[in-house]
Amino acid sequence: MRLKDRCPVCDLDYSKADSGDGPAFFVMSAVGFVSVAFAFALRFAFGLPAGAVLILAILLTLGLTLLLLRPAKALMVALQYKNQASEGRAR
């Protein structure tokens, strides 16, 4: 997913905005926790077979990841802009 160079509405320059792997890390952490909890609940609380649990957990993981990745990237770019983040500099 690539960020545009400029905002089409206000012409804000996005060239300094680089979220890197931050959004993917946070989304993987949250989605992994939810998916494992979901799989444990299905397997041990409801007694579903392991194959069904695996399929449902994979579908949940893919769905949540695709749903959350874009907003997470937008949030990281917005936080960089709000906090005036920049490259580290040696003094």
- For 45-62, write each residue's pLDDT tens digit: 999 999 999 999 999 999
| Residue-level pLDDT at 74 | 85
* pLDDT category of residue 27 using cuts at 50, 70 and 90: very high
HSE-CB at 14 with a 13 A cutoff on CA atoms is: 18
Greater confidence, 21 or 1? Answer: 21
| Residue-level pLDDT at 66 | 95
Q: Where are the domains of the chain?
A: 49-82
Q: Give the whole-angstrom CA distance, residue 72 versus residue 12.
A: 20
What pTM does this model have? 0.76
